[in-house]
Amino acid sequence: MTRKAYMIGTGIGNLAAGIYLIRDGGFNGDQITMMGLETHGANDGALVKDYEDEYSNKALSNSKGYLAKGGRMLNEETYENLWDLLRSVPSLDHPGQTVTDDILNFDHAHPTHDVGRLIDENGPRIKPNKDNYKHMQFTNKERYLLSKLMLMPEKDEQTLNNISIAEWFASTPGFFTTNFWYMWQTTFAFKRSSSAMELRRYMNRMILEFSRINTLEGVTRTPYNQYESIILPMRKYLEDRGVTFINNRKVTDLEFKDTPLQDDIIVTGIKYEEVDNDNKEGHIDIDENDLVFDTNGSITDSSSIGDYDTPVKENMEYAPSAMLWKKAAEKFYSLGNPDKFFNDRAQSEWMSFTVTTNNHYLLNQIARITQQEPGNALNTWIHSTSLMSIVVHHQPHFKSQKPNGSVFWGYFMYPRRNGDYVQKPIIEMTGKEMLEEFLGHLAAVDPSKDNVANHKQEIMDSIVNVIPVHMPYASALFNQRAVGDRPDVVPEHSKNLAFISQFAEQPFDMVFTEQYSFRAAQRAVYTFLNIPLSEMTPMHHYEKDPKVMARATRTMFR
């Protein structure tokens, strides 16, 4: 019997798993079936979807505006699996090149150098004084605590079980007003309540970036949004090789074989609904030799979308992808604890907004005030009550953008807090009100005599749309956790079930990255196909490089 593989969720992790199965595992495309919905792990939560038709693969027309729920920053030095696998995927835009070529060539031609990284009431923190954004502003005790956290061996991680970053730095509350913390939390979407365990992993894996966190020179950008630059080429690769994509199928449950003491984990069936066919129920028989790859959590699950005149209506649904994981975890003791990540929105929620304009006036004003051109990472207004940041990409960010159109997005880390210029909680604001909140902050730091506030009507007339999105689980992967709360990529005793997401456990690597999903995919495929794990893509360990550590030490005292 021909072995088959079933992917639950069509996000970047399962796409990567499909390519690994074909490239390294000798599978034919017709052995692989991809099943997914946006509500079930699609795109791993950070890529582009259509606002009018959330489940299509099309970008919005310019008459409606574009939607980017969030963004992911790539890194050339530490995304080893991503670059390796995408070297096998042909470019859709440049025949003869690969997706890796596309991205790195673009990035090398447009290197990131953030100037207005932090903005306070006086504008960008670039004046040569103690507040300049290049200074980390640590005290000696804060340096000690951060070093102690980073140098903790991974085998001792259990000492950080359920410990928040706030608890780790409880004796030094000033840590949370340092330039370092303002930059680190908004670059990676940490909160004070986030897991100290995850901060430890980030400090090790991203230590190369620690010394350039102020300019974000290590950020690697794609030519267009990541859906068009990465996801579509990966799908095309798989489709060209005969992989079956079923985009209207929601998997509702897994069936398991009864085994002595329920030790062995063997999937024998998949239950599903066809969402565009009156939710017609169906069933797939799974042979013990077949493979099942589950996206056991998506950070865009249960999102709520508003528009220019309408605030979001909060979706209180438990994350659908995590619900499937939750059902499995109730049957087997070794599958973790999804409630740690999906049952405390206060730890994980934030809101984004995407602005589409029909001219470049607003974009030009942002560039003038922040003193940096589009494409240079992100800007954070550190004194905004809700902690607001914006990201202005190189234009066009979407292939279908008109030459005179602009698109950028921003986010609020604390959407339950009131705005500073619109007196209501961020989560209750319309897209227009979010724009007014942003324009208030922009005008407050505009040094020009012809302040941007004097051109409000001109700006408002240029707006095509402002789309707010509430994501209750946007930072769920950083929630406080204990060792064992995330299942292994291939759990102990699992014969044919793997978890490929930001909520599966693997050593050393860090979540909230495409790299983590790619590596989980490789780990799952190699484990099931008995390819030695020693042959997995080698990873860098910059935390063991004396030169890198010397630069990090100097940065701590900068």
The pLDDT-based confidence of 57 (bands split at 50, 70, 90) is: very low
Q: What is the pLDDT of residues 300-318, one digit of tens each?
A: 999 999 999 999 999 999 9
What does the alpha-carbon distance between residue 475 and residue 146 come to, in Å, rounded to a whole number? 21
Write out pLDDT tens, residues 191-226. 999 999 999 999 999 999 999 999 999 999 999 999
Check if the beta carbon of residue 528 is closer than 8 Å to that of residue 490: yes
Q: What is the pLDDT of residue 40?
A: 35
pLDDT of residue 386: 98
Three-state SS string across 402-438, please?
CCCCEEEEEEECCCCCECCCCCCEHHHCCHHHHHHHH
CB 535 within 8 A of CB 523: no
- Residue 296 CB partners (closer than 8 Å, separation 6+): 41, 321, 322, 324, 325, 338, 487, 499, 500, 501, 503, 504
User: Residue 62 has what pLDDT?
Assistant: 37
| Burial tier of 24 (Cβ tally within 10 Å: 0-12, 13-18, 19+) | middle
Residue 56 has pLDDT above 60, yes or no: no
Instruction: Please compute the mean of the pLDDT values over residues 77-90 and round it to a whole number.
Output: 98
Please give the span between the terminal C-alpha atoms of the chain, in angstroms, as a whole number: 63
Res. 437: pLDDT tops 50: yes
Q: Point out the least confidently predicted range of 70-79, 281-290, 417-426.
A: 70-79
Q: Sort strands 123-124 and 118-120 into parallel, antiparallel or unpaired.
A: antiparallel
Distance, in Å, from the CA atom of 166 to the CA atom of 160, rounded to the nearest integer, reads: 12
Structural domain boundaries of the chain? 5-48+73-107+223-304+316-333+479-535, 128-220
Confidence of residue 112 (pLDDT cuts 50, 70, 90): very high
Q: Taking residues 372-396, what's their average pLDDT? A: 94
How confident is the model at residue 279, as a pLDDT? Answer: 85
What integer pLDDT is reported at residue 55 of this predicted model? 26
- The residues annotated as belonging to the active site are 202
Q: Write down the pLDDT at residue 58.
A: 36
Task: Give the fold, CATH level 3, of 5-48+73-107+223-304+316-333+479-535.
Answer: FAD/NAD(P)-binding domain (3.50.50)
Local confidence band at 80 (pLDDT 50, 70, 90 cut-offs):
very high
> Is residue 127 predicted with pLDDT exceeding 90?
no
Query: What pLDDT, on a 0 to 100 scale, did the predictor assign at position 424?
Result: 98
**Which of the four pLDDT bands, split at 50, 70 and 90, describes residue 70?**
confident
pLDDT, residue 53, reads 31
Note the pLDDT of residue 260: 73
Lowest mean pLDDT across 34-48, 218-232, 403-417, 502-516: 34-48
Name the nearest CA neighbour of 350 among 166, 229, 485, 194: 194
User: Residue 494 pLDDT more than 80?
Assistant: yes
Mean pLDDT of 50-58: 33
**How many whole angstroms separate alpha carbon 266 and alpha carbon 370?**
55
Residue 261: band (very low, low, confident or very high) from pLDDT cuts 50, 70, 90: low
Q: How many CB atoms lie within 10 A of CB 368?
A: 13
Give the confidence band of 262 by pLDDT, cuts at 50, 70, 90: low
- Please give the DSSP secondary-structure letter assigned to residue 392: -
Average of per-residue pLDDT values in the chain: 92
Summarised one tens digit per residue, pLDDT across range 146-164 is: 999 999 999 999 999 999 9
Record the tokens describing residue 277, joined without a space. 């066919």
Mean pLDDT of 480-502: 97
Cβ burial 445-462 (10 Å sphere, 16+ → b, else e): bbeeeebbeebeeebeeb
Q: Are 483 and 500 in contact (CB under 8 A)?
A: no
pLDDT at residue number 29: 98
The DSSP output letter for 75 is E
pLDDT computed for residue 50 by the predictor: 38
Check residue 130 and give its pLDDT.
86
Q: What is the tens place of the pLDDT at every residue in 391-405?
A: 999 999 999 999 999
Residue 59 has pLDDT above 50, yes or no: no
- 268: confidence class by pLDDT, cuts 50, 70, 90: very high
Distance between CA atoms of residues 509 and 507, nearest Å = 6
What is the pLDDT, as a whole number, of residue 243?
A: 98
CA distances from 442 to 148, 372, 380, 404 (A): 39, 14, 11, 22
pLDDT over 80 at 46, yes or no: no
Q: Cα separation of 323 and 338, whole Å?
A: 8
Q: What is the dihedral of CA 81, 84, 87, 93, to 10 degrees?
A: 30
